[in-house]
Amino acid sequence: MNDQVIHWHAVGQLDALDPQYPTRISVEGLDIALCRVGDEVFATSNMCSHAFAFLSDGFIEDFEIFCPLHEGSFDVRTGEAKSLPCREAIEVFAVKLEGNEIFVALDNRKEE
Ligand code: FES
């Protein structure tokens, strides 16, 4: 069914994001890393799937976010693990831009 209402949360502004480093935000208590690639923005879980590290302390290269602890990486578009030691995907969230304003939705969250 596609008639569900999406709940968008205003989380910041595009021109405030550093394209080299993720920005840590919280949406409904969920820790999220915002990544700017060109004029696109992606939102991923901020916790590495390998061990305890915040991805917002890492860096961005192309469409990958690199963990600060062992430099494993994830595709910011899909959450797929791209380099070892990361093997498990991380969650990604829907993002939309309205001009300079960034909105994130948690609605596509898979319930575990
Ligand atoms: Fe992230 Fe090891 S904790 S790569």
At 6-29, the pLDDT tens digits run 899 999 999 999 999 999 999 999
pLDDT number for residue 109 = 67
pLDDT attached to residue 107: 83
Domains by residue range for the chain, with CATH:
18-104 (2.102.10.10)
Q: What is the pLDDT of residues 41-52, one digit of tens each?
A: 999 999 999 999
pLDDT at 5: 82
Find out whether the beta carbon of 53 lies less than 6 Å from any atom of ligand 1. yes
Q: ipTM exceeding 0.95?
A: yes
Ligand 1 touching residue 90 (CB < 6 A): no
User: What radius of gyration, in Å, describes the C-alpha atoms of the chain?
Assistant: 13
C-alpha 70 to ligand 1 mean position (Å) = 5
Residue 112 has pLDDT above 50, yes or no: no
Q: How far is the CA of 111 from the centre of ligand 1 (A)?
A: 24
CA angle 67, 74, 64 (to 5 degrees): 85
48 touches ligand 1 (CB under 6 Å): yes
Give pLDDT, residue 6.
86
**Percent of the chain with pLDDT strictly greater than 90:** 89
First to last CA, the chain: 20
